[in-house]
Structure 1
Amino acid sequence: MGEISIKINIADRVYPLKVNMEEEEIIRRAAKLINDRIKEYQENYAVRDKQDLLSMCVLHYATSALKADKKVTSDDSEITEKVYHLDHILTDFFSKQ
């Protein structure tokens, strides 16, 4: 699929982008998440500066990404250990036959 031109509004600023058609929905949803988070911070904290709000938003999503990455790594390790254990059981079983 080809590229299309879209405009994304984040923190009351418009950003023109060229994106692949299949990524448009994800990018629009991401912008909405960012704007919703900024609005939440504006309502709950005495912060009005857009730069501070964007920094808080970036920290939130970077932390979430790192937690998700750590969980995937941990899950991968557990799965690898279980597969190794299963392989050992099967090897023992078939070597006794």
Structure 2
Amino acid sequence: MGEISIKINIADRVYPLKVNMEEEEIIRRAAKLINDRIKEYQENYAVRDKQDLLSMCVLHYATSTLKAEKKVTVEDTEVTEKVYQLDHLLNEFFSK
């Protein structure tokens, strides 16, 4: 899986990148999400400065990432607790 050169357009600026072939689709989809979010902010808010729009996008995606990480942590904790309870029940059952 080699590297390829691609050009990504974000907020009307082109960024040449070298990426692994298997990452290309994800990177292109990410750029599309960012551009769609910028367009949404332009249409719904009186913001035209690209730097402000990009900052709003970064805040949106960073917040989403932190929420997802918190959810995973909570779910991991719940699964760990369930496994502990099951282990305890099995130990009780087999020790009789």
- The bucket for the TM-score relative to the shorter chain is over 0.9
Aligned to 2:77: 77
Query: Matched residue of 2:15: which SS?
Result: strand
Q: Give the corresponding residue for 2:53.
A: 53
Q: Who is 1:33 aligned against? A: 33
Identity of aligned residues (%): 90
Deviation, structure 1 residue 55: 0.1
Secondary structure of 2:48's aligned partner: coil
Unpaired segments ≥5 residues, structure 2: none
Q: CA deviation at 1:71?
A: 0.2
SS of the equivalent of 1:86 reads helix
Count of equivalent residues? 96
CA distance in 2, matches of 1:23, 1:55: 24
Secondary structure in 1 matching 2:28: helix
TM-score, length basis structure 2: 1.00
Structure 1 counterpart SS, 2:16 = strand
**Equivalent residue for 1:66?**
66
1:22 deviates by: 0.1
- The alpha carbon displacement at 1:48 in A equals 0.1
Letter paired with 2:95: S
Any stretches of 5+ residues in structure 1 without a counterpart?
A: none
Moved over 6 A (4+): none
The alignment's C-alpha RMSD in Å is 0.2
Deviation at 1:24, TM superposition (A): 0.1
Shift of 1:15: 0.1
